[in-house]
Structure formats: C-alpha cells, structure tokens
Amino acid sequence: MLGEIPKDLKRLKRKDIDNEIARVGMIAELDAVNLYEQMAGSAQSAKLKKILLDIAKEEKTHVGEFETILLSGDKEQVKELEEGKKEVEEL
C-alpha cells in the first residue's frame, strides 16, 4: 500500500504540482481497487463480497476523476495515451 507521496512536491515546478498530486491520487485509488478486489476474493460472506466489490467500483470512479484533472493539465500525457492506444490497436 502507498504510505507516502513518492515525490517531494516542494522540488517540483509550481505548474507541475497539481499533475503530480493527481497521479498520486490515481496510484492510491488503484491501490485501493486492488485491495478491495483481493479482499472480496477471500471473503466468505456473499454480503461482504458484494460490499467490497461495490467499494472497488467507487474507487474506479475516483481514478477517472483524477485522470480527468490530470489530462486537463498535462497535454503530453494526453498525447502519450493516444500513442499507447494506437500501439495496442496495431497489435
């Protein structure tokens, strides 16, 4: 699990801080998705499993929120995501 922000935000350029915060938020939310889905896989109770999977789904929404913020502030990221999509389609 993510215990601390992986970059020293004080060392970044002011214009890059929000992008890095959004990335850290995405990492934390994806970590939470993995945790809840793993716990759901081990849960004995169907009710608990259902709740854990519902929470994991909510965390995926949070990933999308952070991604939206990131993509509005980092045009290079937008370009590279498009490049990644093209590479997958070519396979």
Residue 2 is assigned to a structural domain of this protein: no
Q: What is the pLDDT of residue 27?
A: 92
Which residue did the predictor score with more confidence, 56 or 3? 56
DSSP code at position 66: H
The domain in which residue 47 lies consists of: 15-90
pLDDT tens for residues 14-72?
Answer: 777 889 889 989 999 999 999 999 999 999 999 999 999 999 999 999 999 999 999 99
At residue 62, the pLDDT reads 98
Q: What domain count does the chain have?
A: 1
Neighbours of 52 (CB within 10 A): 20
Is 6 a domain residue? no
The residues, any chain, with a CB within 8 Å of residue 32's CB and separated by 6 or more, are 55, 56, 59
How is residue 48 written in tokens? 């608990």
User: Identity (one letter) of the amino acid at 88?
Assistant: V
Please give the model's pTM, rounded to 2 decimal places.
0.82
Q: How far apart are CA 37 and CA 53, in angstroms?
A: 6
CA 49 to centroid of chain Cα atoms: 22
Tell me if 50 is assigned to some domain. yes
